[in-house]
Amino acid sequence: MKLKRILALAAVILLLGLYAATFIFALGKSEHAGALFRASLVCTVLIPIFCYAMLLVFRLLKRRAAPTVGTVIFDLGHVLIDFPWQDKARSLGISEEAISAFAENCIEHNEWHDLDLAVRPFGDIVNELAARVPEYESGFRLLMDHIYESLAAFPYAEGWVKGLKEAGYKVYVLSNWAEKGFEECEKNGSFGFLKYTDGQVFSYRVKLKKPDPEIFKLLLEKYSLNAGECVYIDDTPANVKAARQLGIPSFAFTSYEDACEKLKSLGVRF
């Protein structure tokens, strides 16, 4: 828009100058007045055409300079997969007080995220977390026996991934994910969209988890991806920041509708 205004202003100034010169020469009865008038008429036609051509060239060069998004990389939790573990706890008869205690002392604790790395036995991690809520230990152990049953694909998930794939985009998954959670999703059919993806990197398999930059690098190297031609979608700001620092265009997921609009703003059509 700035270039368009500059060209328009320059054209106006040039034309005004030509017509002013013609007027002055005409008043002076110069023999060049007629030639200047004809030149002014010609420039009135040619200058806008020249300016339009310059804009077309600028747009073409800008389009070539900007990397084209050809790959969409998804996080899973709260993006394609819902995890309403609180609802599962309520269905098991666990009190609201216990649910609050689990959220504060267990689900958000660092030891919980060790489940995504699978470097220690599942039972050991559960024992350590249960020790953090001794007054609700039995309820926590009951929940952990069933917690991954709450994992379910969002209604839009399969259609979204399939639509991108059919539109010609490469689609990958990069997610912090527990092994038992993966097994449950395969069992209950929540991973139906994976058949439309070109590859996946799960933390429990590679013993790395976001926002560690190494897991992003692993995905890029494993599938020979150009960071600048990808777009990464994650609901966790720290993960989005880590991806951006590696040159991967990324944005935070807040809703399906918002994500679709952001993809479209990046030139992704599906």
154 touches 257 (CB < 8 A): no
Cis ω before 84 (30° cut-off from 0): no
> Above 50 in pLDDT, residue 65?
no
The first and second tokens of residue 246, run together, are 């590696």
83 touches 151 (CB < 8 A): yes
Where b means 16+ CB within 10 Å and e means fewer, 25-45 reads: beeeeeeebeebbeebeebee
How many residues are present in the chain?
A: 270
Global pTM reads: 0.75
pLDDT, mean over the chain: 88
Within 10 angstroms of residue 203's Cβ, the number of other Cβ atoms is 22
> Above 80 in pLDDT, residue 219?
yes
Specify the DSSP class assigned to residue 82: E
Alpha carbons 99 and 79: distance in angstroms, whole number: 23
Smallest Cα–Cα separation from 236: which of 85, 108, 102?
Answer: 108
The structural architecture, per CATH, of the domain 71-82+152-265 is 3-Layer(aba) Sandwich (3.40)
pLDDT tens digit string along 28-41? 666 666 665 666 66
pLDDT tens digit string along 234-270? 999 999 999 999 999 999 999 999 999 999 999 999 8
Alpha carbons 106 and 104: distance in angstroms, whole number: 6
205 touches 234 (CB < 8 A): no
The first and second tokens of residue 261, run together, are 């609009």
pLDDT at 110: 86
Domain limits, the chain: 2-65, 71-82+152-265, 85-150
pLDDT tens digit string along 99-150? 999 999 999 888 999 999 999 999 999 999 999 999 999 999 999 999 999 9
HSE (side-chain half, CA atoms, 13 Å) at 260? 11
